[in-house]
Structure 1
């Protein structure tokens, strides 16, 4: 079978891989679509993401959907032929965080396509994938596989909005209109936000934020843009750059909440820490997700317009083009690999 394997910075290959057999408790999935994520791009460009560095070849991908092929011994789940999405995390279940209901920050989790541990956890960008059966979710009625491929990044966005607290009736600022930032817009609107302002450097990215439901679009590099709010109730930093965090801290009201969602560069990042003190701003991190995956599928099922965030569907054999397109934020939002295309 074909799979997308990263061998090092700049060294992405479409390799022939052995097809897996489902082990005890596992389901075997015929992968149809895989969404190229920002972390996949970081592994491709830089050989790592955040503090996680490649030390061996790794199959990329954690945003995958497809159909059930079969099950291993002792496994139960959706019948063969069922369209499903795959929750990419396998928490340990026994650490203090898991016992406290915070499985998304499990200290011993396994996450598809992640170099956070060695040996690395191989990802889902392959024509067949064997995963624990409990991580497989049947799609809600009427949700096509292509739109369902947004479930994993939408889950990240839903978790970030929940970390912000109650946003109903409030003004939310989102810095960064990449795929995650756009989905934060959708998550905030679904949670009842009255107004969502989005900033980005690129006009095309802001167009996608509008598709997701943004009320106000702001050029981040234009301090005179009339869309800049004087004050917001909540801010979600989704760009992963220090300037974005600075904008959030300076625009959120006193006593407001800033959620850092974008993964900042390795090492230390400067930020306006005195504002956290003098304005009693609550600065919270948001990492991955847990039960939000099921909520994401339900939201996608009732929001057909989010399909507009899918910019292109590219055959897996042409993965290099897919990654180049996904990295061009002036041209694309979410790019999907198609594992069932010649």
Structure 2
């Protein structure tokens, strides 16, 4: 596992739509205040898939070759000069990396809302240029202040889930829900599933999840993260009034479903709706499903321009709340993963792939199933031997 004598590494680089290449790149050495990390695994997410399929994620288009991936963990292999001793980092430590580098100087950073920093550079995002490479590589360097030691007992590979769980924690904090709340989660991908898990662990009495993949809903039910599920019919993506009509039909079907009818009062709407897809019709469904005086959390990204049914929302005082990444969450996310309070989250890491098989992982994620028909929840890509040895 030693990097001694190695000067080159493999990196998975996106050059454009369905143009993923494996390239040999120099192994970086840590600069001042940085650590060098041997990457164990990276969890693939929806934004990675958008870049792979389209060379863009919403309005963010790739302008130069970009190493994908940002849900990651690994081992510290070297410390650069001037690493603050207060971080208590050492060679050999198992760590997770928070991959948004913020400026610390703007008003948002000073207020503690650094996820809104206009100068932030986020690994594997094409929002800023020059782009900042992601984690689908063997070795990286990173600012020590954004590197977190894992709690005892947390498997190295599962630490990669701290990134999507951070998104969920940030959304949940903005929702400010009380125990006993009843929520709807639209989309049962990794973020949606973790939203269900956190809601149940936080005392929500009804957690209904909807998706177009029955396998993901069955997984959520099997983990006891939901009290009810509803599978939406598949159909073409539409926009504008067509999407609004589709959303209305989805809400009428959901209201009459057993998942809603089995709980008194839910046909009037939920205490909070977490929209985790970024699909226009689903984003329109969200405020329809919110009860008077409640909240919608827009967690998913993907639709550039959309029409929302804001008229009824305004009259009902439904708060439409945007959620962009996260801030001040990583230590809590890692502690939650280690605590066991969320249940057996290890089952979310449904598939593991080597760096050399990264394109297979992306194709499986696109289909939602592997070649054997098994539902893909969260593909993990990287150094499988390293992840296994350092559980």
Give the SS at the match of 1:74: coil
The alpha-carbon deviation at position 83 of structure 1 amounts to: 0.7
Give the SS at the match of 1:227: helix
Q: Does 1:92 align with 2:124?
A: no
The alpha-carbon deviation at position 215 of structure 1 amounts to: 1.5
Q: Does 1:312 align with 2:351?
A: yes
Corresponding position of 1:332 = 376
2-side partners of 1:269 and 1:166: how far apart?
27
Give the one of 24, 44, 51 matched to 1:43.
Answer: 51
Corresponding position of 2:243 = none
1-side partners of 2:52 and 2:145: how far apart?
30
The alpha-carbon deviation at position 329 of structure 1 amounts to: 2.4
Please list the CA deviations of residues 202-253 of structure 1 after superposition, one character each: whole Å capped at 9, or x if unmatched: 1011123222611111112371532144121111100111221222211211
1-side partners of 2:42 and 2:50: how far apart?
16
The alpha-carbon deviation at position 190 of structure 1 amounts to: 2.9
The alpha-carbon deviation at position 341 of structure 1 amounts to: 4.7
1:251–1:199 CA distance, 2 compared to 1 (3 A): same
Cα pair 1:315 1:341 within 8 Å, conserved: no
- Structure number with bigger Rg: 2
1-side partners of 2:10 and 2:44: how far apart?
16
Q: Does 1:285 align with 2:322?
A: yes
Cα pair 1:183 1:212 within 8 Å, conserved: no
2-side partners of 1:46 and 1:21: how far apart?
32
2-side partners of 1:64 and 1:146: how far apart?
8
Please list the CA deviations of residues 100-136 of structure 1 after superposition, one character each: whole Å capped at 9, or x if unmatched: 2211111111111111111001111110010000111
Cα pair 1:157 1:180 within 8 Å, conserved: yes
Give the SS at the match of 2:200: helix
Q: Does 1:213 align with 2:225?
A: yes
Corresponding position of 2:333 = 296
The alpha-carbon deviation at position 340 of structure 1 amounts to: 4.6
Give the SS at the match of 1:150: helix
TM-score by length of 1: 0.96
Cα pair 1:212 1:306 within 8 Å, conserved: no
Corresponding position of 1:258 = 296
Corresponding position of 1:159 = 170
Cα pair 1:177 1:208 within 8 Å, conserved: no
1-side partners of 2:119 and 2:314: how far apart?
33
1:328–1:341 CA distance, 2 compared to 1 (3 A): farther
Q: Which runs of 5+ in 1 are unaligned?
A: none
2-side partners of 1:27 and 1:183: how far apart?
30
The alpha-carbon deviation at position 328 of structure 1 amounts to: 2.3
1-side partners of 2:379 and 2:224: how far apart?
16
Give the SS at the match of 2:104: coil
2-side partners of 1:263 and 1:27: how far apart?
31
Corresponding position of 1:17 = 25
Give the SS at the match of 1:149: helix
Cα pair 1:48 1:115 within 8 Å, conserved: yes
